[in-house]
Chain A
C-alpha cells in the first residue's frame, strides 16, 4: 500500500509544487464527493464497485492529506495545519471523519431549524412538515415564560426581574463603599420584596396562588431563592463538619450524608406528599415553599462538601497566623479562611449552582410547571399535538444560554480575585 502511495516519492519540501496541488486536489475531491452525496444525492464515483465507492471520499481525503503532510514545508499555514490536524495517518483520518460528519449533519440541521422552519402564522395548520414549527413556541411563549400567571398581572413578574437584573448589574459599577450595603440588600431584603410583588395579597396587589406560577420565571424564582439560601447553609455545614466539637461535627456529617445519599426526585416527592402529613392539623405550608426548602437543603449538602474542599486546601500556617493575631473562631474564618477557601472553589461552586438550575425541571414530578413542565403541558394540548421536539430544543437552548452565562460569570470572578501573583 505504502509503495503505491509513494509512486511519486515521499512528500518533501523539494517537490513542494508537485505534491501540494495533488494533495489539495485529492482532498477537495473527497470533500466534493461527500457534499454531493449527502446534499444532492449524486454519487460521482458510482463507476467504482459498490463496496469501494462507499469509501471513496475517505480514500481521496486520506491520500490528499498524505501528500500534504510535508515537514517544514516553508509555508506557515500548511505547517500549522499539519501540526494541528494532520500530524500522522491516524490524526488525518480523525480529521476527515470529523469534517465528513459536520458536512453530513449541519446543513440538514440548519434546514430544520431555520431555512425550512415556519415562523409566520397562528395555528398548527400554518406549519409545514419539513421544518421546525416555531409558531408553536411563539403562540405559547407567554405561557412558557410566566406559566398560568394572570395576564393582567404579568407586569409584576417583569418588574421584579428587571429590578433584580438592574441591581446585579449595578453591583459592578457602584463604588466599593456602597457595594456591601447593596449586597446585604440584595441577599436579605430584595428576596422578600420580589416575593411579595409576585405573590401579592397586600399593598393593593391581587393575590396570585403559587400554583399559578410557572414557566421560565418559576425556574428563576426557585433558582434564585435556592441559590441565596443554600450558600450560607452549605458554608455553616462545611465549618460544622470541621468543628472540634463532636456534636456539631456529627450533626453536620449526618445531615450532609443524608441529603447526598437520597435522589432529588424522592426528596421532592417527600416534600410534596409526605411532609404535609407530619404537620399538625391546621398548619399549612405552600407546596412551592416546601419544594424550595427541599432543593435548598439538597444542594446545601453538595455546597458544603465543595466548600470543605477549599477549607482543606489551605495551609495550617494561615490558621496559625490569624490566631497569633488574636482572632477568635468567627473572625478567623470570616476574615482569613473563608475568603481564601471560597476563592479556591469558585469552579466547584459554579458547578453546584449550574446543577441546581438544571435540577429545577424535576419539580414537574410534583406538579409545579416551570419551563420544561409548561412545554410538557403545551405539547399535550389537543390543538398542538406533535411539537415536542421544538419545545425541548427551545428549552435546551434557553437553559444553555442561562448556564453558559453563569459559567462565564464564574470565570470572570475567578480572574478578578486572582491575587496569587
Chain B
C-alpha cells in the first residue's frame, strides 16, 4: 500500500448547533481517485472544504502530506499550495484575463518568474484545450470553458491533491462532457483526486473507491464495482435506486 497522503481522524464540524460532520475517519493514498456522493446536506462539500481548511474542523485531526492542519497559518498556506480545488461556481477572478488568472498564484505565492509562470499556464491551458481563450476575460467564456480554465488555474500551482466540489452542477448538459473529459485526462495522469459529484458515469469510469455520505457520516466506502453491484447499506441502496 502506498503512502497515505490524507489522514482524517475523528473529524467533527458544527455550524452553530448543526453538526455537519460526525467523527469522520478517512484515509486516502497517493494517486487514489475517490468519488464522494450522497444526498444534499449530507456534508460532502464540508468534508472536502475541511481538507484545505476553507472550513475549520472543531474536533479531530487532519494531516495532509505530513502537515497537520491547525491554527498555524503557515501550515494552512502550505497545505493550500499543495491542494488544488475546483468549485461549483468556477470562481474565476473576473478582473483578470484567463492567463492572468492562471499565473497570479504561481507568481505571488510560489514566486515563480513571470515568463516561466506564463509558460506553465499555457501548458496547462493546452491540456484543458482552451489555449485560444488565454487573453479573454472569464465573462467572455462559456460555462464549460470557465470551469476548464478554473481547473487549469488550480493545476498551475502543481498540486499533489485535487479537490472537486460538484464541478459540473452549474453547467449546461452539453458542457458537462468537456469538463469531465478534462478530469478523466487528469485522473489518467495519476493525480490524487477527491470528487464530489452526481455524475455516476464519471464515477464508474475513473474512481477507485466511492464514499457514500449521509447526515454527516460516511455510511459506506467501497471500491467502485462493489459499490454499484452490491451496496451493503440500506440507505445506499435507496440512494442508488433513485439516481440510477
Contact = CB atoms under 8 A, between A and B. Distances in A.
Interface of A: 315, 317-318, 320-328, 331, 335-336, 339-340, 343, 417, 419-421
B80 A325 contact: yes
B15 interface: no
A318 B140 CA distance: 18
B100 to A, nearest CB: 10
B91 to A, nearest CB: 4
Interface in B85-99: 85, 87, 89, 91-95
Contacts of A419: 94-95, 137, 139
Contacts, number: 72
B67 interface: no
B153 interface: yes
A13 to B, nearest CB: 47
A330 to B, nearest CB: 10
Interface in B63-95: 73, 77-78, 80-81, 83-85, 87, 89, 91-95
Of all A-B residue pairs in the complex, the 10 with the closest CB atoms, nearest first, are A326-B81, A321-B91, A325-B105, A317-B91, A324-B85, A326-B80, A421-B139, A419-B137, A326-B109, A420-B139
Nearest to B163: A324
A328 B77 contact: yes
A132 to B, nearest CB: 50
B108 A321 contact: no
Contact of B80 (A324, A335, A421): A324
B47 to A, nearest CB: 15
B200 to A, nearest CB: 26
Interface of A is mostly: helix
A317 to B, nearest CB: 4
A327 B153 CA distance: 13
Contacts of A315: 89, 91
11 contacts: A317-B89, A320-B85, A322-B93, A324-B84, A325-B84, A325-B157, A326-B81, A335-B108, A339-B95, A419-B94, A419-B95
Interface of B: 52, 54, 73, 77-78, 80-81, 83-85, 87, 89, 91-95, 104-105, 108-110, 137, 139-140, 150, 153-154, 157
A336 B108 CA distance: 11
Nearest to B153: A325
Nearest to B82: A326
Nearest to B110: A326
Nearest to A342: B95
Given A331-B109, A340-B95, A321 B137 contact: no
Contacts of B80: 323-326
Given A317-B91, A326-B105, A419-B94, 14 more contacts: A317-B89, A321-B92, A321-B93, A324-B84, A325-B109, A326-B109, A326-B157, A327-B77, A328-B77, A335-B104, A339-B95, A340-B94, A419-B137, A420-B139
Given A325-B109, A328-B77, A343 B91 contact: no
A335 B103 CA distance: 12
Given A324-B83, A419-B137, A340 B93 contact: yes
A318 B89 CA distance: 10
Contacts of A322: 93
Given A321-B92, A343-B95, A327 B105 contact: yes
Given A335-B104, A419-B139, A421-B140, A327 B109 contact: yes
Q: Which of B78, B84, B93, B140 gathers the greatest number of chain A CB atoms within 10 Å?
A: B93
A325 B154 contact: yes
Contacts of A420: 94, 137, 139
A343 B104 CA distance: 18
Contact of B54 (A324, A328, A336, A339): A324
Contacts of A327: 77, 105, 108-109
Nearest to B108: A331
Contact of B95 (A324, A331, A417, A421): A417
A417 B96 CA distance: 10
A331 B107 CA distance: 11
Contacts of B91: 315, 317-318, 320-321
Q: Which of B85, B94, B110, B150 gathers the greatest number of chain A CB atoms within 10 Å?
A: B94
B98 to A, nearest CB: 11
B109 A321 contact: no
A382 to B, nearest CB: 60
B94 A326 contact: no
A254 to B, nearest CB: 27
Nearest to A420: B139
Q: Which of B83, B95, B108, B157 gathers the greatest number of chain A CB atoms within 10 Å?
A: B95
A320 B137 contact: no
Contact of A320 (B54, B95, B110): B54
B77 A318 contact: no
Contacts of B110: 326
A406 B19 CA distance: 53
B147 to A, nearest CB: 12
Nearest to B165: A320
A265 B2 CA distance: 72
